[in-house]
Amino acid sequence: MSCLAGLFRQDPTAFVGDAELCSRLSALLAGHSSFTVETPDGPVSLTSQQYPTPFKCQMGDLRFEVLEDGARAERGRYDLVILNPWWVDKVSPEATNSDDFALFRQEIRDAAKPEDPPLCLVGIEIHLVRSERARLADYSRIRQGYRKLLLSGSLPNGWRFMDHRYMLVYSQHSQPHEAKWRELMETAWAGDVDPRNVRLAWTSPQGTRWSG
């Protein structure tokens, strides 16, 4: 992440969207052998983009709320995750890498014990801010991604789905507006979230500001 922050500060306007930043970070991680494991079927990357959430959710009006499994809704997506090799070795590739919600619940989420390690060692959300005025940055969308991560730690069955979580904001012009930054920090105080190991980083030409 520090490598991507450095590249961004060198030329903030070189990146045109969230997806480009995510792809660049994924490529940087893929270059490290520690993020690849050997399996009987060959090497498998532990990094995955647009990885589904372990629950269905409501994301209308830039909110983020967890719904019941039977709800008429879709699962959300994380921009980037790093999977735990413990689970990659333990369950079928289809359970860890497909959109089959029933199979994921059967082999992973509902079978997991509280003492089992998390499926995702790291989860990342990325947002690019183009506005020259700090007050006009899209804070509602940033807050939505941040809340998604905050709700992705320990699940109701006591199992920790995702360990370290990072909301990465890249602003082409400025650091956050102070009052808006405080509002973002208050998102972690909600009673239904798990704030452990969650951090928000705001990178601009002036440097990187971390929460906590």
pLDDT tens for the 212 residues of the chain, in order: 889 999 999 999 999 899 999 999 999 988 788 888 887 777 888 999 999 999 999 998 888 999 999 999 999 999 999 999 999 989 988 899 878 999 999 999 999 999 999 999 999 999 999 888 877 778 999 999 999 999 999 999 999 999 999 999 999 999 999 999 999 999 999 888 999 999 999 999 999 999 97
Alpha-carbon span 176 to 135, nearest angstrom: 7
- Whether 28 and 4 have beta carbons less than 8 Å apart is answered as yes
Q: Provide the 8-state DSSP code for 177.
A: P
| pTM tops 0.85, yes or no | yes
Of 115, 135, 149, 151, the C-alpha closest to 183 is 135
Q: If 0-12 CB within 10 Å is exposed, 13-18 middle and 19+ buried, where does residue 203 land?
A: buried
Range of the domain at 20: 2-210
Please state the domain count of the chain: 1
- Whether 184 and 142 have beta carbons less than 8 Å apart is answered as yes
Q: Provide the 8-state DSSP code for 175.
A: P
Q: Provide the 8-state DSSP code for 138.
A: -
